[in-house]
Amino acid sequence: MKCQQLAQQIEAKYPDATPQEVARLCLLLSTQNDDLTALADPAQLDEAWKKTSLRLQHATDQHAAMTDELEQLASSDPRAFSQDQIWVLVRAIKVQSQVLEMYVGEAALDV
């Protein structure tokens, strides 16, 4: 299956989706599934989307939580960071890496 065919299936399933949303779904589904021909089956497309959607929601939730922690951290003096504050930065890098991995399709960084 080519991306254009996948996009057509997505557009048929989600007629209100914007071109950007269709492109994003194509990218996410193609990076999360090695066998795109399996996605020609509507049931497998639904299952793949559910798995990808859950993974994306998990990463989004983690990102939102890290954003709050980073905003608090930004108001402090970096020369006086505690070990806990350093770990906040390390976790933030890991979360960003997970989000990037979803779009790139491979591990971006292993912290």
**Is there a domain that residue 111 lies in?**
no
Closest CA to 51 of 38, 64, 69, 66: 38
In order along its 111 residues, the chain shows pLDDT tens digits of 788 999 999 899 889 989 998 998 898 898 888 888 888 888 998 999 899 888 888 888 888 888 888 888 888 888 888 898 888 888 888 888 887 787 777 655 555
What pLDDT score was predicted for residue 76? 85
- Where in the sequence is the domain holding 12, given as residue range(s)? 3-104
> Is residue 93 situated within a structural domain?
yes
pTM, entire model: 0.66
Q: 92 in a domain, yes or no?
A: yes
Compute the Cα dihedral for 88, 101, 47, 45 and give only its sign. positive
* Number of compact structural domains in the chain: 1
The pLDDT assigned to 19 comes to: 93
